[in-house]
């Protein structure tokens, strides 16, 4: 996946954004990408060096926001692509943030907990002057979790003093984390799907295949089951299970299938919820689902996306479908700044309201202009970011 590839979505969206192309041009490159080298002494005495990144793509709408990923595939461009997606995700969800992302090139499973704690604290020390509750607010991503956020929060607090809880989201609840953050992305995906199913068809008799029963996929599948939607296939990195009669995500029984087969099943709804780039030019011809809900970031390549549109497959893009996580992160940041504690029911209710409003706005644009949901989402985000830029005057204004 290349930054130049995802940026093509902006070209498709510009004609519908109703903004001066100057604002579009400003979004072609990240505002700032920082790199650091972290030497760390391992438990066995050896010193190893790790590469770390933080990209702040655009801060027009507020402090930048985005996760920290620990994975061997992390590099500068990877951070920039994910920060780009965060920029537009925050604008579609209408949370007052720009987009950021960061990470360390490491396999977290290869480290002990003591090593992970040292590495996480060193990451914060390296970037402490560039992040802050009003500047750039990290969160968990693949390979990091709430305890990582707890270590990072305590290190930031040690360096800067005070109790700056709004510096990071996804913290453990006793350290200012919010209830309902774990389920947020999966539940948010369900609320989006529920809205769209009601618009597109009169019944909810759909079969759903979920690739990646991790945090996001599991809570999505769980919510679908609670709400009477039928999951027929699930998988993890080791392979999948298919049962046309229905699968209980807590008691998985059925025929064993591969991840490749899962993507090509005869289902109504396909939900990639694992990794990037799983729907490409190579397999798009075999996809039978009529609706794709992108819970993973960037699961569809740009070329495959165009082919899906030609096949009339209704794709609900990542920047809308998986925005439940950043919406509840925003609630956590608000809760911290107001020294409040929200109850879980309240979090879920506010999440439902906010993500349904975003879905409605994107769907209305999609119908009004006859464009894909992805182009509708990018054009809505571009309009919001461009509109904020143009408050300071555009070319027409300064020519007078
Ligand atoms: P996770 O690590 O909890 O789960 C990932 C799942 O995918 C696991 O079941 C894993 O076994 C499976 N998987 C890994 N590699 C695979 C492969 N090659 N083929 C099939 N399955 C594979 O991660 P998560 O937090 O659930 O995140 C999943 C996706 O959702 C990622 O793309 C992430 O960027 C995106 N996302 C997560 C959040 C969040 O709040 N966690 C928010 C927005 C987007």
Please compute Rg for the chain using Cα positions: 21
CA 88 – CA 319 distance, rounded (Å): 7
Q: Which residue has the tokens 């987009």?
A: 99
Catalytic residue among 65, 89, 101, 223: 101
Element (H, E) at 388: helix 373-390
What is the CA(70)–ligand 1 centre distance, in A?
A: 13
> Across-strand partners of 54?
34, 102
Ligand 1 pocket test: pick from 212, 236, 239, 276 the residue with the most ligand atoms within 8 Å of its Cβ: 212
Structure tokens given for 104? 């360390």
Ligand 1 atom 19, closest CA: 237
pLDDT at 21: 86
- Rounded to the nearest angstrom, the distance between the alpha carbon of 327 and the centre of ligand 1 is 18
Of 297, 310, 377, 378, nearest in space to 78 by CA: 297
- 142 C-beta closer than 6 A to ligand 1: yes
Query: Which pLDDT does position 122 carry in this prediction?
Result: 98
Index of the ligand 1 atom closest to the CA of residue 185: 40
374: phi then psi, degrees, rounded to nearest 5: -70, -45
- Whether 101 is catalytic is yes
Quick count: other Cβ atoms within 10 Å of Cβ 322?
27
* pLDDT, one tens digit for every residue, the chain (400 residues): 788 889 999 999 999 998 888 888 889 999 999 999 999 999 999 999 999 999 999 999 999 999 999 999 999 999 999 999 999 999 999 999 999 999 999 999 999 999 999 999 999 999 999 999 999 999 999 999 999 999 999 999 999 999 999 999 999 999 999 999 999 999 999 999 999 999 997 678 899 999 999 999 999 999 999 999 999 999 999 999 999 999 999 999 999 999 999 999 999 999 999 999 999 999 999 999 999 999 999 999 999 999 999 999 999 999 999 999 999 999 999 999 999 999 999 999 999 999 999 999 999 999 999 999 999 999 999 999 999 999 999 888 899 8
DSSP state of 111: S
DSSP for 241-301 reads EE-TT--BTTB--SEEE-HHHHHTSS-SEEEE-S-S--B-TTTGGG---SEEE--SSS-B-
Residues 1 and 78: their CA atoms lie apart, in Å, by: 8
- Reported residue count of the chain is 400
pLDDT recorded at residue 5: 86
Give the separation between CA 139 and CA 84, rounded to whole angstroms: 16
- The Cα 128–Cα 52 span in angstroms is 13
Ligand 1 atom at shortest distance from the alpha carbon of 325 = 40
Question: Is there an atom of ligand 1 within 6 Å of 212 CB?
Answer: yes
Cβ of residue 329 lying under 6 Å from some atom of ligand 1: no
Centre of ligand 1 to C-alpha 202, Å, is 31
User: Which atom of ligand 1 lies nearest, measured to the CA of 297?
Assistant: 32
Burial class of residue 47 (count of CB atoms within 10 Å of its CB; 0-12, 13-18, 19+): exposed
Alpha helices, DSSP H, located in 94-175 = 113-127, 146-160
Query: By alpha-carbon position, which residue is closest to atom 31 of ligand 1?
Result: 296
């Amino acid at each position: 996946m290349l930054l130049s590839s995802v940026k093509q979505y902006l070209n498709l969206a510009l004609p519908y954004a109703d903004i001066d192309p100057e604002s579009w041009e400003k979004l072609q490159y990240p505002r700032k990408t920082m790199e650091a080298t972290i030497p760390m002494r391992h438990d066995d005495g050896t010193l190893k060096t790790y590469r770390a990144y933080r990209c702040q793509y655009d801060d027009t709408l507020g402090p930048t926001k985005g996760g920290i990923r620990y994975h061997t595939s992390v590099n500068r461009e990877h951070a920039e692509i994910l920060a780009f997606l965060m920029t537009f995700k925050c604008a579609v969800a209408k949370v007052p943030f720009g987009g950021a992302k960061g990470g360390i090139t490491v396999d977290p499973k290869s480290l002990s907990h003591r090593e992970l704690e040292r590495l996480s604290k060193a990451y914060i020390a390296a970037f402490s002057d560039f992040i802050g509750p009003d500047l750039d607010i990290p969160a968990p991503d693949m390979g990091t979790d709430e305890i990582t956020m707890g270590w990072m929060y305590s290190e930031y607090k040690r360096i800067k003093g005070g109790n700056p809880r709004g510096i990071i989201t996804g913290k453990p609840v006793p350290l200012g984390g919010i209830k309902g953050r774990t389920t947020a992305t999966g539940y948010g995906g369900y609320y989006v799907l529920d809205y769209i199913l009601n618009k597109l068809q009169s019944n909810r008799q759909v079969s759903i295949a979920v690739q990646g029963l991790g945090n996001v996929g599991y809570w999505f599948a769980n919510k679908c089951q609670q709400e009477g939607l039928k999951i027929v296939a699930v998988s993890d990195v080791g392979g999948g299970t298919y049962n046309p009669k229905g699968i209980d995500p807590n008691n998985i029984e059925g025929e064993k299938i591969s991840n490749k087969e899962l993507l090509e099943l005869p289902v109504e709804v396909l939900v990639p919820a694992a990794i990037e780039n799983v729907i490409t030019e190579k397999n798009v011809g075999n996809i039978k689902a009529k609706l794709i809900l992108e819970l993973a970031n960037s699961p569809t390549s740009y070329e495959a996306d165009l082919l899906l549109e030609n096949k009339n497959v209704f794709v609900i893009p990542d920047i809308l479908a998986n925005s439940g996580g950043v919406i509840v992160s925003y609630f956590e940041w608000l809760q911290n700044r107001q020294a409040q504690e929200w109850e879980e029911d309240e979090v879920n209710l506010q999440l439902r309201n906010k993500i349904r409003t975003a879905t409605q706005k994107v769907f209305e644009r999609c119908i009004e202009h006859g464009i894909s949901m992805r182009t509708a989402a990018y054009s809505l985000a571009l309009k919001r970011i461009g509109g904020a830029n143009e408050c300071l005057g555009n070319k027409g204004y300064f020519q007078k």
